[in-house]
Structure 1
């Protein structure tokens, strides 16, 4: 919300406060860093600035994804176990996050191109208002479901494996329910395609997973 100057003579302290508030707002819009997740247990769970860096795990190095379940924005129950046997792209997002918006066309394109090969997508909407999140999904015509996770419990569930500590973050889970790759920050079409293609090949028996 823009700040309106009073009709009275401005005093130094209110002006300073308004300037500081405007700076904070500008920084918040410039990046999606420093978003507080669930801080139970006193752990440092602050989100960091995502730079699109990726981590890839060979099949014999992969950890099992944690048990994750929740209610979607449409009110349905869903869990990661529902996707066992398929390759799953788990995308952490929020409607207020600018990079989340700009990467949606990439996610949709990769999903459309690989869905028939056994690729599924599941979003996780965190730290958000449900109405704003639903409008985001509707306006951008996102074709896959998203868990509504206002407290940020799903990212916390990954804290002992590959915590997605930026918004957006993307995790690729193989058909056996193991974590195959992670991207911290906004992903690209080439990057995401290069991550899911070999995992899909494993699932479909088209490559030696070793």
Structure 2
């Protein structure tokens, strides 16, 4: 009578292990990463750690929508027509703090060129530290509140350039398709290398 319970227990443990591995991957606060999506991504990784996708090979993101840290509703799909910079961050993450002033500066300087910045705040169990982070670093663009990492897991198609570390930055072209990704903290120069070619696209 015991084999069946043992099988259920083993299945539950394997399931829990898979969830734990997924959570660990997403919560790993690091300054870089090397892994890509699947084998059909058709992306090119530059020496600077930024992966890009040729215009004809890009894929749209899934639904990335929810409530911001300020309690407003936000749907990235409503930003179609703009270049969208999605930055995955947490207030507890050292590299996120290092890159935040650069993101705040570039977001203001590129707004008039049709660039919209949206943060995805994750692994902060409550909004207080995240809101303080935004104030400390002068971040004026909105951030979706994603404490469990659900948007990170479901918002990006498989076999594409998806966020795999914190911080991660994904840049969408004007059609809402993934054009570039970085898995490391960015300074102003590297961030602009992801954005400027898309501003120049016709």
TM-score (norm 2): 0.76
Which segments of structure 1 move beyond 4 Å, counting only runs of 4 or more? none
Number of residue pairs the alignment of both structures matches? 165
Structure with higher RCO (Cα < 8 A, 6+ apart): 2
Q: Secondary structure at the match of 1:151?
A: coil
Shift of residue 40 of structure 1?
A: 8.3
Counterparts of residues 126-205 of structure 1 (less than 5 Å): 126-128=122-124, 129-157=126-154, 158=156, 160=158, 161-202=160-201, 205=202
CA RMSD, 1 decimal:
1.9
Q: Secondary structure at the match of 2:116?
A: strand
Q: Write the distance in 2 (CA, Å) between the matches of 1:163 and 1:197.
A: 20
Q: Write the distance in 2 (CA, Å) between the matches of 1:40 and 1:190.
A: 41
Q: Write the distance in 2 (CA, Å) between the matches of 1:197 and 1:115.
A: 12
Q: Write the distance in 2 (CA, Å) between the matches of 1:117 and 1:163.
A: 25
Q: Secondary structure at the match of 2:119?
A: strand
For structure 1, list consecutive stretches of 5 or more residues without a partner in the other structure: 1-38, 206-210
Q: Secondary structure at the match of 2:91?
A: coil
Counterpart contact for 2:61–2:157, Cα < 8 Å: no
Residue 86 (structure 2) pairs with residue 90 (structure 1): yes
Residue matched to 2:105: 109
Counterpart contact for 2:85–2:172, Cα < 8 Å: yes
Shift of residue 198 of structure 1?
A: 1.0
Shift of residue 42 of structure 1?
A: 3.5
Q: In structure 2, do the counterparts of structure 1 residues 40 and 185 end up closer, same or farther at CA, with 3 Å as the change threshold?
A: farther
Residue matched to 1:123: 119
Which structure: larger Rg? 1
Shift of residue 200 of structure 1?
A: 1.2
Q: Write the distance in 1 (CA, Å) between the matches of 2:73 and 2:16.
A: 24
TM-score (norm 1): 0.73
Q: Write the distance in 2 (CA, Å) between the matches of 1:173 and 1:40.
A: 33
For structure 2, list consecutive stretches of 5 or more residues without a partner in the other structure: 1-14, 34-48
